[in-house]
Amino acid sequence: MDLVFTTGAVGAVRIEGGGDAAIGLRSAAPAVGDGVALHFEGAGRDWSAGQCLAFTLRANGAHRLRVRIEHGRGHWVLYLVPRPGLSARVVLPFADLRERPHNSSHPGYSRFGGGPHPVDLADVHSLTLTFNQVSPEDKTLTLADFGLHDTVMESAVLDPRVVVDAWGQWTGERGALLAEAQVRAAWAAEPAAFDGFPGHTDATGAEAAARLGEGTGFFRVARDGGRWWLVDPEGYRFFSAGCDCVRPKSEGPLDGRETLFADLTHAEEREPTVAGRWHSRLWADFHARNLRRRHGEDGDWHERWSRHTAARLRRWGFNTIANWSEDTLTRRGLMPYVTNIQSLGPLCGHLPDVFAPDFPRRVRDLVEPEVAPYRGDRMLIGFFVGNEPHWTFGGVAHPFNAVF
């Protein structure tokens, strides 16, 4: 069912078209909040007979877009990041407008966020789509084919063509960013750039002038005057600056995207047993492929990658390998690191009764087996115990909403 609406500019953008025609947005330098508003009237406010909203989206860059739906019970906000230069069918299932879904990647765009007020589908007032990040480049955006559907449609790229080269570089309409010879020349030149910089051989990079007494052999916290500090194993103040997710792999799903890639000879086919955002038959990992191109296919490539990566991080000003990084890298003793405790997820994320008499025992029973392998590791700073608890995700299903 087509949607009937009126359009209005939000901020300093120029709008072309509207109504039944495509809506074009142009701006030389849009600020956060610039965009377009669709206002629904009469029968157009009632979406309750449908299962999803779908529309076509095309942008000249990977602009983060904020979608805000105003309705009779409040508002719902989510975010889209389109693939540059591709026309994509964006699908918003109505189930995802009631409970916050997981962040997800779709052919033609990524989607994340959701909340706080579940959408009253019988009384939808407006949909506002605005640019959500500032950048100096000109921005263009085209929206079309807004409609309600009685089944959940498939998201899709509507003008498929090759936009990713054999190295995993997004090329769009510009062709290859770097030729193979250029890539290999950059690799050959890089090691010299990492020789002789401060901290290359020092385990923690701490400065002698910042010592807070004798070291204990492990990271700890200590108070100096009115300020708490991390203290390294040798007793020096330590200001941790870390990079998350340092891993030799970064795979992604390919279903519905196959035509976008110049070379998928390294892709793997799997049984798509997991539903939702990771439901895919075909997968590829250009990052891992390129690391093997650089460091070799023999059994020592991981050691070479690990030492090169630690040197790179120090050169860039980091002194910590931060959370969600690969365990086989962090345990090599090349840099201080943090890791996370997986076993506490259900306990910390589902509003446990922390005052219950058995709560300390339950925590200890969960944690002890997981932390035991790290005993004696002087490079370990500490553990994360929770991240993005599910009760913050909005929606109506969790008791959190009744309590707060």
Task: Return the CATH number at 142.
Answer: 2.60.120.430
| Same domain as 135, residue 210 | no
**Sequence-ordered list of residues with C-beta below 8 angstroms from that of 13, at least 6 positions apart, any chain:** 25, 26, 27, 30, 34, 35, 36
- Containing structural domain, residue 214: 183-250+301-392
| Same domain as 222, residue 152 | no
| Same domain as 242, residue 190 | yes
Q: Which range among 32-41, 47-56, 278-287 has the greatest average pLDDT?
A: 47-56
Asked if residue 153 belongs to a domain, the reply is yes
Domain boundary among 157, 175, 194: 157
Residue-wise pLDDT for 100-118, tens only, equals 888 888 999 999 988 889 9
Distances, alpha carbon 389 to alpha carbons 277, 297, 386, 392, in Å? 19, 40, 7, 6
Per-residue confidence (pLDDT) for residue 303, from 0 to 100: 92
Per-residue confidence (pLDDT) for residue 280, from 0 to 100: 78
| Same domain as 12, residue 145 | yes
Q: What's the total number of domains in the chain?
A: 2
CA distance 117 to 224: 45
Asked if residue 210 belongs to a domain, the reply is yes
Res. 198 pLDDT band, cuts 50 70 90: very low
Q: What is the mean pLDDT of the chain?
A: 85
Comparison of pLDDT for 202 and 3, the residue scoring more:
3
Asked if residue 243 belongs to a domain, the reply is yes
DSSP, collapsed to helix, strand or coil, labels residue 369 as helix
Strands (E) in 107-205, as ranges, are: 109-112, 124-131, 139-149, 156-157
Asked if residue 268 belongs to a domain, the reply is no
Asked if residue 293 belongs to a domain, the reply is no
| Same domain as 203, residue 144 | no
Per-residue confidence (pLDDT) for residue 25, from 0 to 100: 82
Domain boundary among 121, 141, 157: 157
| Same domain as 112, residue 218 | no
| Same domain as 309, residue 246 | yes
Comparison of pLDDT for 212 and 18, the residue scoring more:
212
CA distance 217 to 7: 65
Q: Is the Cβ–Cβ distance between 60 and 140 less than 8 Å?
A: yes
| Same domain as 347, residue 236 | yes
Bridge pairing between strands 109-112 and 23-27: unpaired
| Same domain as 93, residue 21 | yes
Residue-wise pLDDT for 278-331, tens only, equals 567 889 999 999 999 999 988 889 999 999 999 899 988 899 999 999 999 999
Asked if residue 135 belongs to a domain, the reply is yes
Res. 206 pLDDT band, cuts 50 70 90: low
Per-residue confidence (pLDDT) for residue 390, from 0 to 100: 58
Asked if residue 244 belongs to a domain, the reply is yes
Mean pLDDT of 220-237: 92
Strand partners of residue 68 = 77, 128
| Same domain as 100, residue 16 | yes
pLDDT at residue 18 above 80? no
Asked if residue 16 belongs to a domain, the reply is yes
Per-residue confidence (pLDDT) for residue 351, from 0 to 100: 67
CA distance 312 to 65: 33
Give the phi and the psi of residue 177 in degrees, each rounded to 5: -75, -45
| Same domain as 153, residue 97 | yes
Mean pLDDT of 216-230: 93
pTM of the model: 0.79
Domain boundary among 139, 157, 175: 157
| Same domain as 129, residue 62 | yes
